[in-house]
Amino acid sequence: MNRFNSVDEILHFAIRSAQETADFFIRLSKQARNSKMKRVFETYAREEFAYMVRLTRVREIGPLEITEEQMEELRVSDYVIDLKHERELQYSEALEMAMRKVRAAFRLYLDLASKTPNDEIQSVFRSLANEEAKHKRGFEIEYNESLLLC
């Protein structure tokens, strides 16, 4: 699939992506270098589950009102990060994957916020983008600190 065919498809994609990310963070928590980071990753996973609920509620707020022309600009490949691997990732590799995943989610939420004229929905997407940015910063800090310990 190269592009999204409907607003509903976009929301389903975002919800599935949040689920996949939460599952990945849970796996990452098992690799954490200490109990503090384990709790951080578990918190991030819980927050991703909360994002799923918020994304589901977007439909209740009202239509996104994204035009066909705007839909053309949303390429699925811009937001897909495959978190499935045949081998166990090293901790630093897993952190890199997590950073790519949250960056893709950040871009998706900002892109959706910029395309919908609904102020309330824009606010939801901007809020989600800000939270993903916080996750990314957290992963960057952990990545840098874990490299210093090697």
Q: What is the pLDDT of residues 68-92, one digit of tens each?
A: 899 889 999 999 998 877 678 888 8
In a domain, 82, yes or no: yes
Question: Considering the entire predicted model, what is its pTM?
Answer: 0.92
In a domain, 2, yes or no: no
Round to whole Å and give the CA distance between 44 and 5. Answer: 30
CB atoms within 10 A of CB 115: 21
All residues at 6 or more sequence positions from 82 whose CB lies less than 8 Å from its CB, including other chains: none
In a domain, 1, yes or no: no
Using 50, 70 and 90 to split pLDDT, how confident is the model at 111?
very high
Q: How many domains does the chain have?
A: 1
CATH number at residue 52: 1.20.1260.10
Task: Tell me the two tokens of residue 143.
Answer: 């990545």
| CA 41, chain centre distance (Å) | 14
Task: Name the residue range of residue 28's domain.
Answer: 7-149
If 0-12 CB within 10 Å is exposed, 13-18 middle and 19+ buried, where does residue 5 land? exposed
In a domain, 119, yes or no: yes
Say yes or no to pLDDT of 150 above 60: no
Q: What is the pLDDT of residues 21-66, one digit of tens each?
A: 999 999 999 988 889 999 999 999 999 999 999 999 998 888 889 9
